[in-house]
Chain A
Amino acid sequence: MAIADVKEYTHLSTEEVEQLGRELDAIRAEIEESRGAADAAYINKMIRMQRGLAFAGRVTLFASHKKPAWAAGAAMLGAAKILENMEIGHNVMHGQWDWMNDPEIHSSNWEWDTAQPAEQWKHSHNYVHHQFTNVLGHDNDIGYGILRMAREQKWHPVNLGQPVYNALLAGLFQWGVSLHDLDLEAIRKGRKDPKEMKRQLKQIVRKGRNQILKDYVVYPALSGKNWKTTLTANATANVTRNIWSYMIIFCGHFPDGAMHFTEEELEDETRAEWYLRQMLGSANFEGSRLTHVMAGSLGYQIEHHLFPDLPSNRYPEIAVKVRALCDKYDIPYTTGPLYRQYGQTLRTIMKLSLPNKMTSDDSPEPPSPSIDRGRKTDAERPTRRTETGAYMRRATS
C-alpha cells in the first residue's frame, strides 16, 4: 500500500496535498527564522535542571539506609535520567540545537545516559525510524522485533507470549534498545556485514559496561556501608526510566488511528507525501507542560515527526497550527489522554498475540469519501534498497 493509496487522505487532490505541504513548509520556515536566544536558554535550563537533579539524587543516596532518603534519591535520579534521555539527549541527537554552535550541545558530541551508543541510535532512530516511519519491514520500531503490532504482520504461535515479552521489554527497555541497531533480523538472514556487526557489538559492550559500572559499582561503592541500598535505588531509577520511556515511545505510533504502511519503496515520495505519512503514522497525547517535558516533547509526536530537527520547546505552538491544518484538510489528528493512548496500545499488544480471525480491527473509519488520485505502478518505482548500517565499499582495479 503506497502513501498515495491511504484512504485517510485519498479525498485530497494532488494539488491539495502539495498545498498542505507548502503550508507545513511555512510553519517550518517561521520557526527557523524566529529560532534564537529564548530557545537556547530553554535547553540550557533543562540541562542545568537535569544535572542538579542527578547531583542531588546521588548525594542524597549517600544516606540511602534511611527510607526517605532512599525514596527521594531514587526519585530524583530517575527524574534526571528521564529528562536526560527524553527531552535532552533524544532531541540534541536529532540536531535540534546544532544551530547554537555549542561544542557540547551538538548532535555529534552528545552521549546519553543509557545503554545504546549514540552513534547507533542516530542510525536506528533518526534514519531508519524517522525515514521509514511505520513502514512494515523497514521500521524496526514496530514492535522492536519482539512484538506483533500490526494486523498486516503474519501471526505466529510465538506471539501468544506477547503480554510477557511486553512486560520484559518495558522493564529492560534500555537494554532492548541497546541491541536495536544490530538488526537481529538482518543478522539472522545473513544480510549484516560481519565486520560492522563486530564493531557495533564492541560499542554496545563498552557502553553497557560503563553504564553498569557507574550505577552498580562506582556510586554504590561511594556510599560505603550503604552500598546495597544505593544499588537498589539506582536500579529503581533505571527501571522507572525504562518503563516511562517505553510507554511514551509506544504511545507515539500504536494507539488507534496511527497507521502502518506496507509500501516497499518510499524514495519517490514528494515532500508533501512524506509529511502526510508522518502525520498519519504518528499519535500525540495530551498532558500538562511537565508531562510533555518529561516525555521529551513526544506527546507532540506528530509535530516531532514532521519537524524532527526543530527545537522541541516550539512543538506546542507548532501543534496548534498543525491541528488547524488537519481540520482544514479533513485529515485525522490522533490524540487523547495519555492513559487512553497507552490503554489502546496495550489492548493492541494483547489482541495481536492472537490470530486476526479471533480479534476485531480497531482502526477508525476514514473521514471522507475517497477519490482516485492515481499512483505509480511497481514498474515505475525504483528498486528497494537493502543495506542497513554503516559500511565501506571497495572497488578493485
Chain B
Amino acid sequence: MSVTVLPFVWSAGGELVKARVTQCALSRICGMCSRPLGRPVAFVGTPLEVGRNAFHCPPLHAACVGELRALPYADPTWEVVTTSGFEYVRPNREDADQRPTFQPNSLL
C-alpha cells in the first residue's frame, strides 16, 4: 500500500475545491502544500489563462509547481508565470464561469 500526499486545493478527482481556493487566496498559502507563500508567487494556467492574465488555480510556491505537474490530472498545456502580488477576483452573477480568478499584478 502506498500513501500519497494530495495537493491541498484539489479533490482526489482533480477538481478545484472552491472553499480551499478562497482559503489559499486570503491566507496566502500554497495550493499544493498549504504552507505560507514565498516571493515570488507562481501560477499555472493554460495559454488562454496566461493571455487574459486570470488564473483559476490558486497561488503556488515555485518549488511546488513541478510536483503539481506530475499529478495525473495536470494539464499538459499549463504554463507558469511568477508575480510578486495578485488580485483575488470573485465571480459576478452574470459570469458564465462561476469560479474565482487570480490576477497577477506585478509579473516578474
Residue ranges of A at the interface with B (Cβ–Cβ < 8 Å): 14, 18, 21-22, 32, 93, 95, 97-103, 106-109, 118-119, 122-123, 126-127, 130-131, 267, 269-272, 274, 309, 385, 390-397
Looking at the assembled complex, report how far the CB atom of B15 sits from the nearest CB atom of chain A, in whole angstroms.
Answer: 13
A102-B41 Cα distance, complex, nearest whole Å: 13
Looking at the assembled complex, report how far the CB atom of A311 sits from the nearest CB atom of chain B, in whole angstroms.
Answer: 11
Which residues in chain B, 32-84, are within 8 Å of chain A measured between CB atoms? 33-39, 41, 84
Contact B106 A101 (CB under 8 A): yes
Q: Which B residues are CB-close (under 8 A) to A21?
A: 92
A394-B7 Cα distance, complex, nearest whole Å: 9
A245-B1 Cα distance, complex, nearest whole Å: 52
Contact B39 A32 (CB under 8 A): no
Contact A100 B106 (CB under 8 A): yes
Q: Which A residues are CB-close (under 8 A) to B6?
A: 392-395
Least CB separation from A104: chain B residue: B39
Contact A100 B2 (CB under 8 A): no
Contact B84 A99 (CB under 8 A): yes
Q: Please tell me if B26 contacts chain A, counting CB pairs below 8 Å.
A: yes
Report if A396-B3 is in contact (Cβ < 8 Å); known contacts: A101-B84, A108-B28.
Answer: yes
Q: Please tell me if B12 contacts chain A, counting CB pairs below 8 Å.
A: yes
Contact B4 A99 (CB under 8 A): no
Contact B38 A393 (CB under 8 A): no
Looking at the assembled complex, report how far the CB atom of A139 sits from the nearest CB atom of chain B, in whole angstroms.
Answer: 13
Could you write out 12 A-B pairs with CB less than 8 Å apart? A18-B93, A18-B94, A95-B28, A98-B106, A99-B105, A109-B39, A126-B28, A127-B22, A390-B8, A390-B34, A393-B5, A393-B6
Contact B19 A267 (CB under 8 A): yes
A99 is contacted by which of B2, B5, B93, B106 (Cβ under 8 Å)?
A: B106
A322-B88 Cα distance, complex, nearest whole Å: 20
B-side interface residues, number (CB < 8 Å): 38
Report if A119-B36 is in contact (Cβ < 8 Å); known contacts: A95-B85, A101-B106, A309-B87.
Answer: yes
Q: Which A residues are CB-close (under 8 A) to B18?
A: 267
A102-B85 Cα distance, complex, nearest whole Å: 10
A106-B106 Cα distance, complex, nearest whole Å: 12
Q: Which B residues are CB-close (under 8 A) to A272?
A: 92-93
Most chain B beta-carbon contacts within 10 A, residue among A101, A130, A396: A101
Q: Which B residues are CB-close (under 8 A) to A397?
A: 1-2, 4
Q: Give the number of residue pairs across the A-B interface with Cβ within 8 Å.
A: 114
Q: Which B residues are CB-close (under 8 A) to A18?
A: 92-94
Q: Which B residues are CB-close (under 8 A) to A392?
A: 5-6, 8, 33-34
Q: Which A residues are CB-close (under 8 A) to B85?
A: 95, 97-101
Least CB separation from B36: chain A residue: A119
Looking at the assembled complex, report how far the CB atom of B40 sits from the nearest CB atom of chain A, in whole angstroms.
Answer: 8
B26 is contacted by which of A119, A126, A270 (Cβ under 8 Å)?
A: A126
A130-B22 Cα distance, complex, nearest whole Å: 11
Least CB separation from A106: chain B residue: B39
In the A-B complex, the 6 residue pairs with the closest CB atoms: A98-B85, A101-B84, A127-B26, A271-B90, A127-B27, A99-B85
Using A18-B94, A122-B27, A395-B3 as known contacts, list a sample of 19 further A-B pairs with CB atoms less than 8 Å apart, ordered by residue number in A: A18-B92, A18-B93, A32-B105, A93-B28, A95-B85, A98-B39, A100-B106, A108-B36, A108-B41, A118-B36, A119-B36, A122-B26, A123-B27, A267-B19, A270-B91, A271-B93, A272-B92, A274-B90, A394-B4
Least CB separation from A196: chain B residue: B34
Contact A101 B108 (CB under 8 A): yes
Looking at the assembled complex, report how far the CB atom of A94 sits from the nearest CB atom of chain B, in whole angstroms.
Answer: 9
Contact B92 A271 (CB under 8 A): yes
Looking at the assembled complex, report how far the CB atom of A87 sits from the nearest CB atom of chain B, in whole angstroms.
Answer: 19
Least CB separation from A119: chain B residue: B36
Q: Which A residues are CB-close (under 8 A) to B36?
A: 108, 118-119, 122
Least CB separation from A18: chain B residue: B93
